[in-house]
């Protein structure tokens, strides 16, 4: 199973496409775009990086908005969003954009550009209807998976409710990764994503059995090399849970459908711990053939696997998985992870360009 490690430096952004009107423009042309600078009619600088000094740009926008009787609060909001788009976003950051029925995930691969050439998308059986997008502040994006909005976790859907065209969602990084990945790691924690697809009311017994199983797998993983207590797992579990604690934490959306998001402190250099945890997790989805070959010594491996299978059966996980219709995310994230298309972010020699309005 692929184990993706979340980089600490990555940031996460939402760029709206005018209530979905320009969603297809973003995707088909591989961009995100913002209209807030269009009012200034700045010179097109083509493929050069747009890197203006913030103060003159903000001053020009305030002056233009004042002449157009646009409220000061609107101007301040636009300036802040422009700053985010030009200065705060970075190549390698992830982008979410919102369509009428779907959300698309992408990776920023380009630095800011100012380009006044309209982007065209054609619709209809014979491409008879043409829609033009003129937003001239743009960044190149490699677009990845698209997910239907009604299949997204509630926490991620709720994070999309800000009204600005550009806003940051760093605080929702965990929800983003749980939506895309079945398992991932960050620092010393291993994260698992479990989707509940049943539309029936959730039975407390099944929930308790599932959470108990996850706790037990952690204890088996961390203390599997100890000989004492293996013959009596209940006392083994109580001893270690009481003396060392259980780090497994779960965030759950108890809807039908819903999800369980689990995090376990592992000490990621401990490969046996990761292997046991991953194996116990995979068992939730019916793969009882996964073992630990080459990871732990033969005798311990046999004992550990027997313990995992025993807890699987004792907690009736096969029935739990069937009743809750458990599944894991299955999304192709390769384009989001690859830096092959990333543009270098060094500033050009003249970073004061493109501040001149047309006469």
Check residue 231 and give its pLDDT: 63
- The pLDDT tens digits of the residues spanning 55-96 come to 788 999 999 999 999 999 999 999 999 999 999 999 999 999
> Which residues of the chain are in CATH 3.10.590 domains?
10-173
Whole-number average pLDDT of the chain: 84
Q: Is the pLDDT of residue 351 over 50?
A: no
Q: Are 49 and 155 in contact (CB under 8 A)?
A: no
Check residue 250 and give its pLDDT: 78
Check residue 229 and give its pLDDT: 44
State how far the alpha carbon of 118 is from the alpha carbons of 23, 121, 126, 142, in Å.
Answer: 15, 10, 21, 20
347 band by pLDDT with thresholds 50, 70 and 90? low
Check residue 18 and give its pLDDT: 93
Higher pLDDT, 351 or 117: 117
Fold adopted by 10-173: ph1033 like fold (3.10.590)
List of E strands, the chain = 4-5, 12-15, 31-34, 94-98, 102-108, 113-114, 119-123, 129-133, 137-148, 166-168, 183-186, 189-196, 249-253, 258-265, 326-327
Check residue 92 and give its pLDDT: 97
- The pLDDT tens digits of the residues spanning 97-130 come to 999 999 999 999 999 999 999 999 999 988 889 9
Q: Is the pLDDT of residue 44 over 50?
A: yes
- The pLDDT tens digits of the residues spanning 295-342 come to 455 555 677 778 888 889 999 999 999 999 999 998 999 999 999 999
- Residue 344 burial (CB count, 10 A): 7
End-to-end CA distance of the chain: 60
Mean pLDDT of 117-144: 95
Q: Is the pLDDT of residue 158 over 60?
A: yes
Q: Is the pLDDT of residue 199 over 80?
A: yes
Q: Is the pLDDT of residue 352 over 50?
A: no
Check residue 208 and give its pLDDT: 92
Quote the CA–CA distance of 93 and 56 in Å, as a whole number: 27
Quote the CA–CA distance of 195 and 189 in Å, as a whole number: 20
């Amino acid at each position: 199973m692929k184990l993706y490690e979340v980089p600490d430096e990555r940031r996460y952004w939402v760029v709206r496409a005018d209530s979905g009107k320009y969603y297809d423009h973003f995707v088909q042309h591989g961009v995100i775009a913002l209209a807030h600078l269009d009012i200034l009619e700045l010179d097109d600088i083509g493929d050069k990086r747009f890197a203006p000094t913030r103060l003159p740009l903000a001053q020009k926008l305030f002056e233009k908005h004042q002449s157009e009787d646009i409220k000061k609060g609107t101007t301040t909001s636009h300036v802040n969003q422009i700053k985010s788009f030009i200065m705060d976003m970075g190549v390698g950051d992830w982008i979410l954009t919102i369509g009428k029925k779907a959300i698309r995930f992408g990776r920023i691969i380009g630095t800011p550009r100012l380009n006044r050439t309209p982007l065209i998308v054609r619709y209809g059986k014979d491409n008879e209807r043409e829609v033009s997008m003129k937003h001239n502040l743009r960044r190149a994006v490699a677009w990845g998976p698209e997910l239907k909005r009604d299949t997204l976790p509630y926490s991620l859907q709720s994070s999309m409710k800000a009204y600005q065209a550009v806003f940051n969602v760093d605080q929702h990084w965990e929800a983003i990764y749980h939506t895309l990945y079945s398992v991932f790691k960050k620092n010393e924690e291993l994260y698992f994503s479990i989707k509940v697809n049943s539309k029936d009311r959730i039975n407390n017994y099944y929930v308790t059995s599932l959470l108990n199983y996850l706790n037990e797998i952690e204890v088996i993983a961390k203390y599997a090399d100890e000989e004492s207590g293996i013959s009596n797992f209940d006392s083994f579990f109580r001893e270690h849970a009481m003396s060392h604690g259980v780090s497994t934490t779960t965030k759950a959306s108890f809807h039908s459908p819903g999800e369980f998001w689990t995090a376990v402190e592992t000490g990621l250099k401990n490969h046996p711990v990761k292997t046991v945890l991953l194996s116990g997790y995979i068992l939730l989805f019916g793969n009882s053939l996964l073992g630990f070959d080459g990871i732990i010594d033969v005798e311990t491996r046999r004992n550990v696997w027997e313990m995992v299978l025993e807890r699987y059966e004792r907690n009736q996980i096969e029935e739990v998985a069937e009743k809750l219709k458990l599944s894991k995310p299955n999304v192709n994230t390769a384009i989001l992870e690859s830096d092959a298309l990333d543009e270098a972010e060094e500033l050009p020699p003249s970073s004061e360009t493109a501040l001149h309005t047309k006469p």
